Amino acid sequence: MVRAVHDFRGTYGVTDYRWFDLRDHNSASANFQHHYGLLRDDYSPKPAFEVYRRLIDELALREPDAGLGPVRLGLRLRYGRGRCASVRATITGADRGLVRRLDVSVGSRRLARIRRPPLALSVRRRGLSPRHRYRLRLRATLADGRATTLARRLRACLA
C-alpha cells in the first residue's frame, strides 16, 4: 500500500505519509480495532514497524546534494492600473525551468495549483479588506525534489 501511494504521489499531490496509530490501544484485547498500531501498547515494536520504517527510509525525499545548492527562484508582483486592479504574480530566477508545481494561496485561502507554464497568475484584489494585511504565498516544487515557499505582502484595494 505504501508503495502504491508513493507511485501515484505526483498524480494525487501526496506530500507526506501518516500512519493511523503509532501504538495499539490495548494489545491484550480480543477486539481487532485495538491492534492498528505499529507498536504494542508497551511501545515494543511489532514486525510491521521495521517494514514500515524501511519503506519510509527508502522512499523519503532526501535533502538535495550539496552541489545543487539553494533553490534560485524569485517572485515578481506587478500591480495593474486602477484602484482595485488585479496583481500579476510571476516566478523568476535561474531554477524557473525546474518548477513542476506551484501551490498558490492568499492568507489561508488556497487560490490555485499550477502545473505548467507560464508560471504566472493574476490575483484579484476585489473583496480584500484594506484593513487587513494579506500574504501571497507560492509553494514551488522542483523536478529534482527541492521545494521552497515564496511570499510577498499583497496590498488590498485602496479605500
Query: Which pLDDT tens digit goes with each residue over 51-82?
Result: 988 888 777 766 555 556 788 899 998 888 87
Q: Is-above-0.85 flag for pTM? A: no
Query: Is pLDDT of 104 > 80?
Result: yes
d(CA 94, CA 149): 16
- pLDDT for the residue numbered 68: 66
The span from the first CA to the last CA of the chain, in angstroms, equals: 54
* Fold entry, domain 74-154: Immunoglobulin-like (2.60.40)
Burial class (CB in 10 A: 0-12, 13-18, 19+), 108: exposed
What is the C-alpha separation between 149 and 91, in angstroms, rounded?
11
Q: How many CB atoms are closer than 10 A to CB 60?
A: 10
Cα separation, 122 vs 80, in Å, equals: 10
Cα–Cα distance list, 40 to 51, 53, 54, 56, 74 (Å): 15, 15, 19, 20, 48
What 3-state DSSP class applies to 67?
A: coil
Which has the minimum average pLDDT: 15-24, 33-42, 143-152? 15-24
Give me the sheet containing 99-106, strands edge to edge: 109-114, 99-106, 134-142, 147-154
Amino acid in the structure at residue 72: R
Residue intervals in the chain for CATH 2.60.40.10: 74-154
Here the cell at position 52 is: 514500515
- From 130, 143, 64, 67, select the one nearest 100 (Cα to Cα): 143
pLDDT-derived band at 118, boundaries 50, 70, 90: confident
